[in-house]
Structure 1
Amino acid sequence: MATDRSAGYVRLLKSNRPFRNLWYAQVVSELGDWLNSIAIFALVLNVGGTGMAMATVMMAKLLPIFFVSPIAGVLIDRMDRRAIMMASDVFRFVVVLGFLLVEDQNDLWLLYTLAVVEIALAGFFEPARSAVIPSLCTREELVTANALSGSTWSVMLALGAALGGGVVSLFGIKAAFVVDALTFLVSAFFVSRIDLPAKAAARTEDGTPRTKKENGWVEGMKYLVRRPVVGVLSLLKSGLALGGGLMTLIPLYANTLFSTEAAISMATGLMYSARGLGAALGPVLVKRFFGDSTRVLQLSIFSAFFISGIGFYFLSRSFTLGTAAVSIGLVTFFGSIIWVFSSALIHLEAEDRFLGRVFSTEMAMLTLVMGLSNWWVGYSIDHLGWTLSEVSRGLAAAFALPGTCWGLFLLVRRRAEKKKAVDSICPVEPSDSKLPPSNY
């Protein structure tokens, strides 16, 4: 049962105006993002793209974050985080309109380039959004805020993917890109309405760091080493990203089930909707029935790795749209638990002045792993001759590694905490040979 201290989702949105505006920006922006993804998938398939071409698009939409994150993390901790989010939105509005210029296979280079620039800008927006949440919420609201943000991502995935499939089928690919571009302007408007508390505003009011050393990228890496729990938490999403090749698998599954562009786009949208629906329910239900204590969050992450792997195995045995959608929903139901609860634990453990670099490092690693996962899917299909079922089973097996590592980390930390507790109750008296012998 959830704790009484944890804030309700509706109550949080009603009572916390700054977070409400941040949430509005997330809703609009992510709705357009997923509509954009469906349009890009349809565009690649429409110009005769192969499995490797699809994987290349996925890598173009992921890997740039790995390279911009060291810069993004430092700037996020030095500057006004609202200004960074707004600038990212405005620039992405311009970039997305560039997709309208892609006409045929000869323009794939332009599509890849635009995808790289768009995701590089997202590498500034998303860590800034994650880093600003603790400045807008009380400690008791953090788990609720993260669960709401995670569920919103999932719901927008479901709605955006379904909307994208419908818009592409009815109005064409270019219409989807126009709608996506406009969502960035709306998002920037809501971000501009966020009022940071005085404490957070004072930290960034002159746009300069306290010291260069404290705000440098190297110092951020040293912080992760000094705080191993934060360092390990920042790698959990990278473990989840081992299954990121699902993004390439979904349109390829749709392409094997259907033959027309409209049907493929609709099937892709429906499977992405199943992905979003599953992800929306996971953290919410766990929090509702088991609470949001630190121990619950930790054990839920451990269990989720293995059950997500089972979902991938079910996907390997799926040969219809319905069974594939259910399997994908199972994967993301538990995958979202890893995503949301790891973010909440980082907010509870890390210092605010390092959050930009922590979340940028986290995003860099997860996008690197996710990009490699998508590349592996495309390479295995095009060059190794693997079937979609064989690739799905490979992803299922991969999830056992991060789950096992997280379980071992929890075990070691638990034992260390018990030993520390025992030592504090029964301290060992130091011996001193210089003391005179007792007369008693």
Structure 2
Amino acid sequence: MKAYIELLKTENVLRRLSFIQLISYFGAWFSNVAIYTLLIKMEVSAEVVAFVAMLHFLAGVVQAPFSGSIIDSVRPKFLMLGLISIEIIATFSLMYINSVADLTLLYILIFFKMAAASFYFTTEMSLLPKILDGDKLQRANELHSIIWSLSYTLGMAISGFAVYAFGVKIAFLLDACMFVIAFYLLVSLKIEIEHIAMKENIFIMMKSTFSYIKKTPKALHLMIVHAFVGFTAFDALIALMVDYYYASIIATSLALGLLHASRAVGLVIGPIALGKWINNQKLFYIFLAQGVAIWIWAYVMKDFYLSLAVSVIVGFFTTTLWSYSYTLLQKNIDKKYYGRIVAYNDMLFLSTAAFTSYMIGYLAEHKLSLELIAVLMGMAFVFGGIYYRWIIKKEKIKEIQFDI
């Protein structure tokens, strides 16, 4: 933890960006619990729940082919402010969702809200390698994951109680207000980096990116490795667990909040415990550990309190898996292509998450048990680990140097 504090003390831009992340992510989880609480109260089918979960990721997939080229062409601060503005409007508009008749509007708002959020995230992740390097970049990625997890923990937990006490509309209003604060903080931030104006149009830039990926196969391999983390898209699974197993013993919003919060506790402490231990070779074991943790979760799933406890273990390995595989990609690509490669990387990751979310609903609707669905998700990480071990033997992957 000391390393993260020192990094924030010395890197002013990162410190402000991290604070903005904390505020905006915290607000976002208010609406997330509210949305799933609203869906369960509407008594929609498992496929509708899964479709909403899928939309959270699908929006990022659709805009990814163009976002990278735009990121490499536009000044980051200007772009980030525009994206937060879209999030404010879309989030505030969620207050107008009242019944099943408004599902189409809900789909549209979630799509635009999450497309902007994904675009913002990709912009920031392509900005970090331009202001940080080496172990600082790895620590910044880990810090980003910790902030996401901490916001997730507090946001989900507090939101569960807030939705229970005040209703979903207050949650949406609080979410929108959080984005307003984030916008104000970003306006006053000075980001001093060299901006290289791209003379090519977007389509030529896309073509050159594909040529670069073809000449640099390790970039594609590392993008696929990172995409395996998308199999931790548990939102639809948790919503169905609450609906099927826990609704009779605890309020829906409280169950959703506590389950997400317990997993997020693991997401927070994982990188703190594993940060100094992890390296290229040991990442393989993190893949296997993630799979085993999900299998244990499947075994205890019907017991709410055991599920809460095991959720911490499920989250424990995820952050390190995400941050280290992301840093490996950043470390092994040309700076000229940061925005575009990061965008395509996010597209693959979000595609995996969207596919996972949809299949959870599809399989549940076709009478496959939630336990067996979780087992299949765990198997994905075993395959991911095998694939990663093959990659590090086949390709020359740079190690991440730690100096802190």
Residue 265 of structure 1 pairs with residue 253 of structure 2: yes
Residue 396 of structure 1 pairs with residue 388 of structure 2: no
Q: What is residue 421 of structure 1 aligned with on the other side?
A: none
Question: C-alpha deviations, 1:174-232, integer Å up to 9, x for none?
Answer: 000001111112222222333223xx2x325xxx3144489711212222222222222
Q: Contact 2:37–2:253 (CA<8 Å) still a contact in 1?
A: yes
Q: 1:337 aligns with which of 316, 320, 333?
A: 320
Q: Contact 1:213–1:219 (CA<8 Å) still a contact in 2?
A: no
Question: C-alpha deviations, 1:54-79, integer Å up to 9, x for none?
Answer: 10101111112111111111010111
Q: Residues 85-104 of structure 1 correspond to what in structure 2 (within 5 A)? A: 85-104=80-99
Q: Contact 1:309–1:396 (CA<8 Å) still a contact in 2?
A: yes
Q: Give the whole-Å Cα distance in 1 for the aligned partners of 2:355 and 2:65.
A: 19
Higher gyration radius (CA): 1
Q: Give the whole-Å Cα distance in 1 for the aligned partners of 2:248 and 2:314.
A: 27
Q: Contact 1:242–1:370 (CA<8 Å) still a contact in 2?
A: yes
Q: What is residue 278 of structure 1 aligned with on the other side?
A: 266
Residue 236 of structure 1 pairs with residue 228 of structure 2: no
Query: In 2 relative to 1, CA 405–62 (structure 1 residues): closer, same or farther, beyond 3 Å?
Result: same
Q: Contact 1:283–1:341 (CA<8 Å) still a contact in 2?
A: no
Q: Give the whole-Å Cα distance in 1 for the aligned partners of 2:200 and 2:345.
A: 23
Q: 1:111 aligns with which of 99, 106, 115?
A: 106
Q: Please report how far the alpha carbon of residue 146 of structure 1 lies from its aligned counterpart in structure 2 after TM superposition.
A: 1.1
**SS of corresponding position for 2:123:** helix
The count of corresponding residues between Structure 1 and Structure 2 is 397
Scaled by the length of structure 1, what TM-score is found? 0.85
Q: Give the whole-Å Cα distance in 2 for the aligned partners of 1:172 and 1:394.
A: 35
Residue 251 of structure 1 pairs with residue 243 of structure 2: no
Question: C-alpha deviations, 1:375-428, integer Å up to 9, x for none?
Answer: 111111112x111111111212222221111111112236x99xxxxxxxxxxx
Q: Give the whole-Å Cα distance in 1 for the aligned partners of 2:122 and 2:249.
A: 35
Q: What amino acid maps onto 1:301 in structure 2?
A: L
Q: Residues 375-394 of structure 1 correspond to what in structure 2 (within 5 A)? A: 375-383=358-366, 385-394=367-376
Residue 223 of structure 1 pairs with residue 212 of structure 2: yes
Q: Give the whole-Å Cα distance in 1 for the aligned partners of 2:203 and 2:282.
A: 34
Q: What amino acid maps onto 2:329 in structure 1?
A: I
Q: Give the whole-Å Cα distance in 1 for the aligned partners of 2:380 and 2:135.
A: 35
Residue 302 of structure 1 pairs with residue 295 of structure 2: no
Q: Contact 1:275–1:329 (CA<8 Å) still a contact in 2?
A: yes
Query: In 2 relative to 1, CA 229–45 (structure 1 residues): closer, same or farther, beyond 3 Å?
Result: same
Q: What is residue 161 of structure 2 aligned with on the other side?
A: 166
Q: Residues 340-379 of structure 1 correspond to what in structure 2 (within 5 A)? A: 340-379=323-362
Q: What is residue 155 of structure 1 aligned with on the other side?
A: 150
Q: Residues 20-31 of structure 1 correspond to what in structure 2 (within 5 A)? A: 20-31=15-26
Query: In 2 relative to 1, CA 215–123 (structure 1 residues): closer, same or farther, beyond 3 Å?
Result: farther
Query: In 2 relative to 1, CA 382–227 (structure 1 residues): closer, same or farther, beyond 3 Å?
Result: same
Unaligned runs of 5+ in 1: 291-295, 418-440
Q: Give the whole-Å Cα distance in 2 for the aligned partners of 1:362 and 1:187.
A: 26
Q: Give the whole-Å Cα distance in 1 for the aligned partners of 2:226 and 2:309.
A: 23
Question: C-alpha deviations, 1:254-311, integer Å up to 9, x for none?
Answer: 22333369711111111101121111122221124x2xxxxx4323321111111111
Query: In 2 relative to 1, CA 74–344 (structure 1 residues): closer, same or farther, beyond 3 Å?
Result: same
Q: Contact 1:93–1:185 (CA<8 Å) still a contact in 2?
A: yes
Q: Give the whole-Å Cα distance in 2 for the aligned partners of 1:301 and 1:162.
A: 30
Q: What amino acid maps onto 2:244 in structure 1?
A: T
Q: Please report how far the alpha carbon of residue 45 of structure 1 lies from its aligned counterpart in structure 2 after TM superposition.
A: 0.7
Q: Give the whole-Å Cα distance in 2 for the aligned partners of 1:213 and 1:253.
A: 43
Q: Give the whole-Å Cα distance in 2 for the aligned partners of 1:213 and 1:156.
A: 35
Q: Please report how far the alpha carbon of residue 331 of structure 1 lies from its aligned counterpart in structure 2 after TM superposition.
A: 2.1
Question: C-alpha deviations, 1:231-268, integer Å up to 9, x for none?
Answer: 22222231121342x21111211223333697111111
Q: Give the whole-Å Cα distance in 1 for the aligned partners of 2:262 and 2:40.
A: 21
Deviates more, 1:74-83 or 1:301-310: 301-310
Q: 1:66 aligns with which of 48, 61, 67?
A: 61
Q: Contact 2:226–2:326 (CA<8 Å) still a contact in 1?
A: no
Q: Please report how far the alpha carbon of residue 156 of structure 1 lies from its aligned counterpart in structure 2 after TM superposition.
A: 0.9
Q: Give the whole-Å Cα distance in 1 for the aligned partners of 2:364 and 2:16.
A: 43
Q: Contact 2:164–2:253 (CA<8 Å) still a contact in 1?
A: yes
Q: Contact 2:69–2:202 (CA<8 Å) still a contact in 1?
A: no
Q: Give the whole-Å Cα distance in 2 for the aligned partners of 1:210 and 1:286.
A: 43
Q: What is residue 420 of structure 1 aligned with on the other side?
A: none
Q: Contact 1:158–1:276 (CA<8 Å) still a contact in 2?
A: yes
Q: Give the whole-Å Cα distance in 2 for the aligned partners of 1:25 and 1:332.
A: 23
Q: Contact 2:64–2:343 (CA<8 Å) still a contact in 1?
A: yes
Q: What is residue 131 of structure 2 aligned with on the other side?
A: 136
